[in-house]
Amino acid sequence: MERPVRIENRAQLVYLLTQAAELEHGIMCCYLFGAFTMKESTAEGVTDDQMAAMKRWRRELLDISVQEMLHLALVCNVLTAVGGAPMLRRPNLPSIPRSDSKAVKLRLTPFGLQAMDEFIDIERPEVQQRAGARVPEEFATVQPKLSDIFSSERHFSTQGHLYNGIRDGLEYLSHKYGEEGLFVGRPEDQADETFFSIPAMMAVHDLASASLALKTIVEQGEGASEDFADSHYNRFMRIREEYDAVLAVDPAFTPGRPALANPFSMMPSDKAEGDVNLIDDPQTADVSNLLDGCYELMIQMLGRIFVHAEESHDELARLADTTIGLMAMVVQPLGSALSSLPAGKSHPGFTAGPGFRLSRGASIPTHKEAAWAVFRERLGELAAYSRYLQAEKNAPAVLGRVNTALSRFAAALGEV
């Protein structure tokens, strides 16, 4: 039997919730990468019927990615409710959380059989992992401490294992501190459906709402059981079955572009040589830099919404609209375009893809006036950079639309 994830104090709870937020964020990027690296027309060597199936799969991947954003938001709400801070940072991919499970090793894999198998493993229900499971020797020989005053890693084998431990920790600490003593965050600091029209988006203010948030994450992801039809696990299994059926008719069927795994335009500061594939086509690298800059700004703006510091309701709504617009009108089209651009002479025959790189500077400005000034300035810089790239020979057509969107977002923020 696997050892339960044990939480004894608020510091450990916040630590593990932070790890859960990083995990949800990384998983979302994996699924977006899969969607963005799919072929988009029959001109890429697929039939009309195959393209119809691929469009369904892409819609499913994008919808699941939205739910992963919901999971990240719910974890941030729990963090805020118990006195922590929203966590929007994460390690650059690939990343391996401190767990013995292959299911939570995250990397950017282009759409194909390997990607589908990795997605299925990420969402594999806890009951499957437990079947025949044993506690790894390195964990079996370590006795849990009676008191863990400093936060440390906990072994978990699945997402469900981690979230069940967090849920048990919330229940224990509600008894230890009292419910009012545990949930010390201000209710008005919660992000809810007012700003994000995502089904199941909810505020967290007590044990019942926190437990419901965690239940939503597990049911939508792994499923409360293997029979939960709309879980990510079962949705991926259905795609895999359809994929196999198409292959049975056409063994040469290739729905994904020949994109590099873990592609970056430059080495992330938290990765070592060999972890990633570096894009060395100059024009493609420039487009990759633009996407990374836009993605990082989107995450910073999202973080400002979760902080709920000094903004009015209308100002938070403007930030939310801009964040959603950046994903739909900038990140998504740039990500798809990158997977059609050459990776460079070091990778003949391969295309690039979105790395979703975050820098050490991806922090959330503390004060409202400073935050909005930085956001407007950055949107303007990114718009100017897209115009610069647009002027180059053989520039991707998507840059014109991206420039228009970025300029409009900068103007929409206006003055505070």
Range of the domain at 176: 1-257
Question: Can you read off the two tokens belonging to residue 153?
Answer: 């890693």
pLDDT tens-digit readout, 156-207: 778 888 999 999 999 999 999 999 999 999 888 888 888 888 889 999 999 9
Determine the Cα–Cα distance for residues 127 and 125; give it in Å rounded to an integer. 5
Spell out where 9-72 has E strands. none
Is residue 306 pLDDT above 60, yes or no?
A: yes
Where is the domain boundary, 257, 279, 307? 257
Shared domain check, 71 and 157? yes
Helix (H, G, I), strand (E, B) or coil at 263: strand
- At residue 136, the 3 state secondary structure works out as coil
**Domain boundary pick from 257, 281, 303:** 257
**What number of other Cβ atoms are within 10 A of residue 207's Cβ?**
18
CA 163/CA 168 separation, integer angstroms: 9
> pLDDT tens digits for 226-238?
668 899 999 999 9
pLDDT of residue 140: 39
Within this chain, do residues 251 and 280 fall inside the same structural domain, yes or no? no
pLDDT mean over 253-265: 98
110 and 241 in one domain? yes
Q: What is the DSSP string of 223-242?
A: -SSTT-TTSHHHHHHHHHHH
Q: What is the CATH number of the domain that holds 187?
A: 1.20.1260.10
Entry pTM: 0.93
Per-residue pLDDT band for 293 (boundaries 50, 70, 90) equals very high
Same domain, 381 and 278: yes
Out of 257, 277, 295, pick the residue that ends a domain.
257
Q: Are residues 24 and 121 in the same domain?
A: yes
Same domain, 16 and 157: yes
Let me know how many helices (H) and strands (E) the chain has, helices first.
14, 2
Domain count, the chain: 2
Say whether both 215 and 293 belong to one domain: no
Instruction: Provide φ and ψ at 95, rounded to 5°.
Output: -140, 150
